[in-house]
A and B are shown apart, each in its own frame.
Chain A
Amino acid sequence: MNKDAQMRAAINQKLIETGERERLKELLRAKLIECGWKDQLKAHCKEVIKEKGLEHVTVDDLVAEITPKGRVDSSMNFNTCLDSCSYHYNQALVPDSVKKELLQRIRTFLAQHASL
């Protein structure tokens, strides 16, 4: 496992160094806006905020609602919950085409940098 973790860390490092991560991030953001994912989430947020009341909304509330739906309580560490949760509400909303394209690009990157 350690190897894998190391491997992953190395890959991440490579991603950042080449700037590929930023590019991928921008691409993903553009695609999500295009497919309406952001609007859907926004509508969901509005409901949440109306429930909770405009004054008392915190970042944690929002994150808890948006990312893994209903699987987080405020006591949990934010990062750990993201790592452990297998099901993410928001991910279900992402259209398949966007997911496939991004995966394709990541695989390409990995193939290019097979020998680090």
Chain B
Amino acid sequence: MKMEEMSLSGLDNSKLEAIAQEIYTDLVEDSCLGFCFEVHRAVKCGYFFLDDTDPESMKDFEIVDQPGLDIFGQVFNQWKSKECVCPNCSRSIAASRFAPHLEKCLGMGRNSSRIANRRIANSNNMNKSESDQEDNDDINDNDWSYGSEKKAKKRKSDKNPNSPRRSKSLKHKNGELSNSDPFKYNSSSGISYEALGPEELRSLLTTQCGVISEHTKKMCTRSLRCPQHTDEQRRAVRVYFLGPSAILPEVESSLDNDSFDMTDSQSLISRLQWDGSSDLSPSDSGSSKTSENQGWGLGTNSSESRKTKKKKSHLSLVGTASSLGSNKKKKPKPPAPPTPSIYDDIN
């Protein structure tokens, strides 16, 4: 071919465009032809209609396009308002609450066994503590101090500490129960210690802070972990009232090792106090939470306290230590006086 003929630059754009179109058309037709051959082969080999569904199935699984239904024809949130009848207790339960209800009702499932274990532990403690007659008298005497705690324990026990919800309500209740004004120091809520007898004092000191305020000469009625007073102060108060053998009397726990040296307990306590005080925060205050934590820690002390959060384990350890101390202090039988009252209310 001659050079001029071959040169494309001589052509104008329209011609170039026409050529481009032709090339394009050729390509498309090639594809068409190829497609036809494919189809023809499929027809002759017999697999052309293989991917078709029969019309009956097509009708069955047709896409639904009505308001209120999904494409499968199911009603949305049909099960929200439905009620099921529990086969165990024959009550009608809302569908969304049915599974947890069954778990409790049948007594199977992780949570139920935890609750059951706790109750057993608590009842064990209660059985031990109720045998101490003298301490029971004290409980009856101190209505003022245990009234609020009774309320606290009752409300506390309604919300299962093992259920996921517990953390929500705790803070709210703490604010209510520990003081009318949890964040302000209410000087009139102290106790005048001269009016109390020794037993009352002891029981008081096992549940409350008890630190004597300089201004009012009254004992603090906040919880044993109230942030306004240090553990040192509490210990000093107890030493002052109950003699040098007094230790931070916190609630009893069912421990494996009941026999304990004084020195051991003291060192333990001094070690734990340091741990405990580092844990203190304003949100921790509140007798209900504290005692409940102790109770809970006590109920499942050995096995679970290690596994739980740092705070709880500290509490249970502190409880452990002090209870050991109070072990020594009181009688050979483990429980301290306030213990029965707390567990009374829980169970």
Interface set of A (CB-CB < 8 Å, partner B) = 3-4, 6-8, 10-12, 15, 21, 24-25, 28-29, 32, 38, 41-42, 45-46, 49, 54, 57-59, 62-63, 66-67, 82, 88, 90-91, 94, 99, 102-103, 106-107, 110, 113-116
Convert B24-45 into 0s and 1s, putting 1 for each residue whose CB lies closer than 8 angstroms to a CB of A. 1101111111111101100110
Q: Looking across the interface, which residue of chain B has its beta carbon closest to that of A100?
A: B24
**Interface residues of B, CB < 8 Å — how many?**
34
B28: which A residues are within 8 A, CB to CB?
28, 88, 90-91, 94
Please, how many angstroms separate the alpha-carbon atoms of A53 and B19 in the complex? Answer: 40
Q: Looking across the interface, which residue of chain B has its beta carbon closest to that of A11?
A: B19
Q: Which of B5, B32, B48, B49 has the most CB of A within 10 A?
A: B32
Which one, A29, A62, A67, contacts B40 given CB within 8 A?
A: A62
Interface set of B (CB-CB < 8 Å, partner A) = 1, 5-9, 11, 15-17, 19-25, 27-37, 39-40, 43-44, 48-49
A25 engages B43 (CB within 8 Å): no
A7 engages B19 (CB within 8 Å): yes
**Given A6-B5, A62-B40, A116-B8: A67 and B24 within 8 A (CB)?**
no
> How many pairs, one residue from A and one from B, have CB atoms within 8 Å of each other in the complex?
99
A106 engages B24 (CB within 8 Å): yes
B17: which A residues are within 8 A, CB to CB?
107
Please, how many angstroms separate the alpha-carbon atoms of A15 and B40 in the complex? Answer: 29
B31 engages A7 (CB within 8 Å): no
B19 engages A8 (CB within 8 Å): yes
> 19 A-B residue contacts at CB 8 Å?
A7-B19, A10-B6, A15-B23, A38-B35, A57-B44, A63-B33, A63-B36, A90-B28, A90-B32, A94-B28, A103-B20, A107-B16, A110-B8, A110-B20, A114-B7, A114-B9, A115-B9, A116-B6, A116-B7
A8 engages B1 (CB within 8 Å): no
B30 engages A103 (CB within 8 Å): no
B35 engages A54 (CB within 8 Å): no
A7 engages B11 (CB within 8 Å): yes
Please, how many angstroms separate the alpha-carbon atoms of A99 and B40 in the complex? Answer: 26
Please, how many angstroms separate the alpha-carbon atoms of A92 and B31 in the complex? Answer: 14
A66 engages B20 (CB within 8 Å): no
A113 engages B8 (CB within 8 Å): yes
**Given A25-B27, A28-B27, A116-B7: A107 and B35 within 8 A (CB)?**
no
A10 engages B20 (CB within 8 Å): no
A45 engages B29 (CB within 8 Å): no
B37: which A residues are within 8 A, CB to CB?
59
Please, how many angstroms separate the alpha-carbon atoms of A107 and B11 in the complex? Answer: 13
A12: which B residues are within 8 A, CB to CB?
23
Told that A7-B11, A62-B36, A116-B6 touch, could you supply 19 new A-B pairs with CB distance under 8 A? A6-B5, A10-B1, A28-B27, A28-B28, A45-B39, A46-B49, A49-B48, A54-B43, A58-B40, A63-B32, A63-B36, A67-B32, A67-B36, A88-B29, A91-B28, A103-B20, A106-B20, A114-B9, A116-B7
B16 engages A28 (CB within 8 Å): no
B43 engages A3 (CB within 8 Å): no
B43: which A residues are within 8 A, CB to CB?
49, 54, 57
Please, how many angstroms separate the alpha-carbon atoms of A99 and B48 in the complex? Answer: 29
**Given A38-B35, A102-B24: A25 and B30 within 8 A (CB)?**
yes
